[in-house]
Chain A
Amino acid sequence: MSHAERLTPSRVMTLALVGAGVVLLAAPFWFTFVFATQARADIFRSPPPLWFGTHFLSNVQLLLERLPFWRNLGMSLYVATMTTALNLLLCALAGYAFAVHEFAGKKILFALVVGSMMLPSFLNMIPTFLVMDLFGWIDTPRALYVPGAAGALGIFLMRQYIGSAIPRDLIDAARMDGCGELRTFWSVVMPLCGPALGTLGLITFINAWNNFVGPLVVMHNADDYTVPLALRSMQSPNNTEWGALMAGSAIAMLPLLVAFVFSARRLVAGLTAGAVRG
C-alpha cells in the first residue's frame, strides 16, 4: 500500500483522530510515571500533578526497603520468559495440528481446548495448591510456568492464523518434497508465522508477567514473589506508600514495553510475499 506521505485533508483528520486516541489511551500510562516521581502527599493534590516531581529516588529507596524488588523482578522475568518460550513452541505445534490435519476427534478436542478458557480460575486456588503440594512444587518457579506452558489461548490463536494465512499448497508441496511433519512444521510453516508468533509471544509474556494468583497460591517467601504480588504486598488498607508503589509499578512496566518493542517489529513486518505468488 503506497500512499505518499503528504498532508491531504483526510490524512490530517486521520492523524488528528489517531492522535487524540493516543493521548487519551496513553494518559494513565503517563500518569504512572509522573506519580512515580511524586511524594505520596502530592499524588493526592487537587488538581493532581501533571509533570514529573523530584521524589523518584526516595520512592525507589522506600520500595527497596520494603521489598526484595530486584529479586522479584528476576523471578518475574524468569517465569514470564519460560512461559512465553514454551507457549510459542507448544501452541504453534498444536495450532498447526488443528489447522492443517484431519484426525479423529478433532472437533471435540478443539472444543475442549476452547472450553478450558471459559472456566473462571480463581476458585482453582485450593485444588491447584493441593496438586502443587503433592508434587512438592510449592515455592518453585516450575509451578508457575509449567501449568500454562501450552495455553488454550495460544492454540486458538495459532490455529486461526495458520488456518487462514498459510496456503494449503505450501504444505502439500513440502510433503511431496518428502518433508516429514515436524520438518514441514518447523521449516515451512513457522517462518511464515511471524506476526502470529509476535502477537502470541507478547500476549503470553504480558499475561504471565501480570499474573498474581498463581504466585499467591504457590510462593510462600517474599523473596520468591513475582512483581505484581510483591507490589500488592506493599499495599496497606489505610497507609499505602503510593509514591513507592507507583515507582515499582513503573519499573515493572518497562520489561513489558521492551517486549512490545521487540515484537512490534515482527508484528508489523509484512509476509514474505514471494511464497504466495503464483
Chain B
Amino acid sequence: MHDSRNTLTSDSAIAPLPPAPSQAQAARARWRKRARKLAPYAFISPFFILFAVFGLFPLLFSIWLSLHQWDAPAGLAAMHWVGLENYWYALTDPWFSKSLLTTLWFAVASGVPQHLVALPLAFLIHTTLKRSRNFVVGAYFVPYITSSVAVALIFTTLFSKDFGVINAILPGPPIDWLGDAFWARITVAIVVFWRYLGWNVVLYLSALQVIPGDLYEAATLDGASRWQQFRHVALPLLRPMMFFAITLTLIGNLQLFEEPFILIPPDSGLAIDVMTTAMFMYRMAFSDGDFGTASAVSWLLFFLIAALTYGNARLFGKEGTGDVAR
C-alpha cells in the first residue's frame, strides 16, 4: 500500500512515485479503469430502466393520442386519426390562450416572491437562529405538508368576504377574495406562495450548510455588514441551489393545477378566470371528452416549459448548474 496522504493537495508532483506495478496489480488497475468507465452507466441505469418501463409507454401513448381524436369512455378502438388537427384546434381555442396567459401570470406572481423572500429568509434563519431554528423552519415548512382538502376548506374560510379573518384585519371595504376575478387570481397566487415558500427556505438552508463558516468570519473581519455578507458571500455560492430551486418553481408553476382547482369550484363562473393550462387540459379530457386535444395541449405545455427551463439554464451559466466533472 502507498503511504497514506495526510496532506490532501492536488499537487501530485511533490508526492513520490509509486513503485512499478506487478502483473496482478496491473490487471487490477485495468479492471478498475474499465469499471470506472462503466460505473456511471450502471449508476444511472435504474432511472432509465424504470423510465423505459413506466415512463416511455405513457409518453409514446400520449404522442400517439395527440394525433387522434378520442372520446375515452367509448373504448380504445374508438380512436380515429386526425393528424396535427388537435394542435391547431388547441392553438385556436380562445380558452387555451387565456389559460396560457393565466399560467404565466401565476408563474411570475407567485414564483418571484417565493424566491425573493426565501433567500434572505433562509440566510437570516441560518445566521441568527440557533435554538429556535428547527421550530421556525418547521413552521415555514408546514404549509407544504398540509393536505389539499384542509387547504381548500381553511383558505376559503379565512378569505371569506364577509366572515374571513383576513378581511376582518384589513382596513377598508371587504375584498371579495374568492368571488371577484381579479382578486381570485391574487388569492390563488398567495396560496401558491404560502405553500412553497417553506420548501424553498428548506432548500436554500440545506445549501447554506455547505458554505464554510470562515468565509463569513473573514468578511466580518473586513467590516462587511450582514447584508453585504449575504449579497457577496452567500448568494454567489448559492447559485447552484438557486438554479435548482428556480427550475423547480418554473416547472411546477407552469404545470399549476391543484391550488386553483381546489379554491375555485370548477363550475363557478370564475373558473375560467383562474384556469391554468393544466386545468384546461383536464377540462378537455374529462369534461369535453376530448383526450386527443388534451394530449396535444400537454405537449404544447411541455415545449413551453422546456424552452423556459433552457433559457433559465443559460441564464445561470455553467457554474450554476453544478457541473464539476472535468
Contacts and interface: CB of A to CB of B under 8 A. Distances in A.
A89 to B, nearest CB: 9
A116 B55 contact: yes
B325 A113 contact: no
Interface string A111-145: 01111111110111011101100000000000000
Given A14-B128, A123-B291, A113 B47 contact: yes
Contacts of B205: 267-268
A47 B210 contact: no
Nearest to A197: B206
Contact of B47 (A31, A150, A164, A253): A150
Nearest to B29: A178
Interface string A253-271: 1001100110011011111
A170 B306 contact: no
Contacts of A98: 40, 44, 325
A162 to B, nearest CB: 8
B324 A246 contact: no
A191 interface: no
A228 B39 CA distance: 39
B168 interface: yes
A153 B134 contact: no
A97 B257 CA distance: 33
Contact of A253 (B147, B153, B163, B285): B147
A207 to B, nearest CB: 10
Contacts of B160: 46
A52 interface: no
Interface string A166-177: 001110110111
Nearest to B160: A46
Interface residues of A, number: 116
Interface in B146-168: 146-151, 153-155, 157-158, 160, 162-163, 165, 168
Given A47-B168, A103-B37, A120-B298, A264 B150 contact: no
What is the predominant secondary structure among interface residues of chain B facing chain A? helix
A47 B157 CA distance: 9
Interface string B94-125: 00000000000000000000000000010011
B149 A245 contact: yes
A181 B127 contact: no
Interface string B239-254: 0110110011001000
A100 interface: yes
B179 interface: no
B209 interface: yes
Interface stretch (B83-91, B170-178, B180-188, B195-203): B195-203
A102 B41 CA distance: 10
A150 B46 contact: yes
A101 B61 contact: no
A67 interface: no
B244 A180 contact: no
Residue among B48, B157, B278 with most chain A CB within 10 A: B157
Contacts of A116: 51, 55
B93 interface: no
B305 interface: yes
A169 B143 contact: no
A14 B129 CA distance: 10
Interface in A190-209: 195-196, 198-199, 202-203, 206
A31 B197 CA distance: 19
B165 A47 contact: yes
A65 interface: no
Interface hub of B62, B147, B309 (most chain A Cβ within 10 A): B147
Contacts of A123: 62, 281, 285, 291, 294-295, 298
Contacts of B285: 123
Contacts of B129: 18
A96 B43 CA distance: 8
Nearest to B248: A153
Interface centre among A103, A157, A271 (most CB of B within 10 A): A103
A18 B125 contact: yes
Interface of B: 1-2, 5, 8-10, 32, 35-37, 39-41, 43-44, 46-48, 50-51, 53-55, 57-59, 61-62, 72, 121, 124-131, 133-134, 136-151, 153-155, 157-158, 160, 162-163, 165, 168, 194, 197-199, 202-203, 205-207, 209-210, 212-213, 216-217, 226, 240-241, 243-244, 247-248, 251, 255, 257, 278, 281-282, 285, 291, 294-295, 298, 301-302, 305-306, 309, 321-326
13 contacts: A3-B128, A25-B198, A47-B165, A118-B302, A118-B306, A124-B58, A160-B243, A164-B241, A165-B207, A185-B43, A235-B149, A246-B150, A265-B134
- Which 4 A-B residue pairings sit nearest by Cβ, starting from the closest? A163-B322, A46-B163, A181-B39, A97-B43
Interface of A: 1, 3, 5, 10-11, 14, 17-18, 21-22, 24-29, 31-32, 35, 43, 46-48, 90-91, 93-94, 96-103, 106, 109, 112-120, 122-124, 126-128, 130-131, 146-147, 149-150, 152-153, 155-157, 159-165, 168-170, 172-173, 175-178, 180-182, 185, 195-196, 198-199, 202-203, 206, 210, 228, 231-232, 235, 242, 245-246, 249-250, 252-253, 256-257, 260-261, 264-265, 267-271, 273, 276, 278
